[in-house]
Amino acid sequence: MDKFILAMIGMAIALLIIIGGGFIAVEYFKSHPEAFQVKPLSK
């Protein structure tokens, strides 16, 4: 039972990081639209 609880906590933390990171990226690009207009680094 303990392993199951730990797995659920780990998944919740991973989801928070993914969702939070995506939200931060969207907010950043909204306030810095020129970042999208720069030429891509990979050619």
pLDDT cut 90: percent of the chain above it = 44
Q: Are 29 and 35 in contact (CB under 8 A)?
A: yes
Give 22-40 pLDDT, tens digit per residue: 898 888 888 877 766 666 5
9: in domain: yes
Residue 26 belongs to some domain of the structure: yes
Establish if 11 belongs to a structural domain. Answer: yes
Contact (Cβ atoms closer than 8 angstroms) between residue 14 and residue 6:
no
Distance between CA atoms of residues 33 and 25, nearest Å:
11
Q: Which of 12, 11, 14, 33 is nearest to 22 (CA)?
A: 14
State the residue range of the domain holding 8: 2-37
Q: Is 43 part of any domain?
A: no
| Residue 20: inside a domain | yes
pTM of the entire structure? Answer: 0.52
Spell out the residues 6+ positions from residue 40 whose beta carbon is closer than 8 angstroms to its own: none
Q: How many domains does the chain have?
A: 1
21 within some domain: yes
